[in-house]
Structure 1
Amino acid sequence: MMNIEQLKDSNYVPYSGKSSVAVVKSVAGNYYPGVRVENVTFPLTINAAQNALFTCLSEKERPKAIYVEDTKANDLEFWRNEYNVWVYPHEELETGDLKEILLDLQESEIKSTLKKLLDHAVTENSDFPVSALLKTPRGYVSGVNIECSEWSLGLCAERVAIGKALSYGIKDFESIYIHTRSGEYSSPCGACRQVIYEHMPHNPVHLFHADGTRSKHFSSDLLPYSFRSTSLNVNARQ
């Protein structure tokens, strides 16, 4: 059962301490949560509304309404127009359960699942779908890249998967698998490397390349000399 106060505990806000929760109701009637996910490099922070909307879209569903704490927040007008969603305060959220998003997969099913997930990507601008599977102790969490009319507000598959997992209260990550069917190399971009490093600094990153080959790396190797929270003159709150 949904509980806004419990969802607040899923926020990752070690730098500002300012939590935020959004819940999206899809056209099919399913509910998807979104929490604020901060990053030590502040431009990479994902806000709750975007997180909830992109979680819904990554499950190949269309958002119908979004429930937020502040209906007059500056960014909501863009999302309202982008997806033609109704915006309501938390108080009007109906009773219901969150849609289950965990995948129970065997190692042998990862490659085929990544290929199928490419069809969930929203890539009207780039036509470059990417899929990701985040391995956690509770199961796998999927992610695909989501683009919108404002190029700078899109998110890569890796960040969608991490934001989705955190919104569901999953904070322990074991490894991540990434795939694209085009391009020379299925490698995470610099922004994703920074986000991956923050949440799993020494974990395996498995890349499934378009030519059928795969390679294994470690997040710390993909981002040498990374910027870390220990570089700040403030103590992280978590």
Structure 2
Amino acid sequence: MHDLVEAARDAVDSAYAPYSEYAVGAALRTADGTVYTGCNVENANYSNSLHAEEVAVGKAVSDGHRSFDAVAVTSAARDGVTPCGMCRQTLAEFCDENVPVYCDGGDDGDEATTYRLGDLIPDTISPGTLGVEP
């Protein structure tokens, strides 16, 4: 957990958040142990902004990864931020409901609240919901 939270913290430094001034970083560990990071990238119209978790997932998927086993999210404020609903749905596309989501809430990298993705977004829309086999 500690290493993943630290990777998310490192990603915060790359955030582009001139409008909200709320920098977010995420780290995603693939099933083979590779870690991908992402940061929020804001846009003046807001709706085109990218969230940190989406950036991390996009980087991993574009490299061929489709299975993840842990996620860490942090903000510059270290306020225990959790993924938003949109990011939860994006994570659910590639993560099992039991995947831990570490939400950084302190100065020590071990000060994170752990959630299960399925607790953050129960009864998600899935390929099965749409009658599609992944």
TM-score by length of 1: 0.50
More helix by share: 1
CA RMSD in angstroms, aligned pairs only: 2.0
1:209 equivalent in structure 2: 105
Task: Decide which of 222, 225, 235 is 2:120's aligned counterpart.
Answer: 222
What's the % identity of the aligned pairs? Answer: 28
Using CA pairs under 8 Å that are at least 6 residues apart, name the structure with larger relative contact order, 1 or 2: 2
CA positional deviation for 1:117: 1.8
1:73-130, Cα deviation, whole Å (9 max, x unpaired): xxxxxxxxxxxxxxxxxxxxxxxxxxxxxxxxxx544333332221101111111111
Seen in structure 2, the aligned counterparts of structure 1 residues 230 and 114 have a Cα distance that, compared at 3 Å, is: closer
The runs of 5 or more residues in structure 2 that have no matched partner are: none
In the alignment, structure 1 residue 198 sits paired with structure 2 residue 96: no
Seen in structure 2, the aligned counterparts of structure 1 residues 228 and 113 have a Cα distance that, compared at 3 Å, is: closer
Higher Rg: 1
Alignment of structure 1 residues 92-171 onto 2, 5 Å: 108-136=2-30, 137-171=32-66
1:28 equivalent in structure 2: none
State the distance in 1 between where 2:69 and 2:40 align.
21
Q: How many residues get paired?
A: 130
Counterpart amino acid of 1:227? I
Counterpart amino acid of 1:133? A
TM-score by length of 2: 0.85
Aligned partner of residue 221 in structure 1, secondary structure: helix
CA positional deviation for 1:174: 1.1
Aligned partner of residue 13 in structure 2, secondary structure: helix
The runs of 5 or more residues in structure 1 that have no matched partner are: 1-106
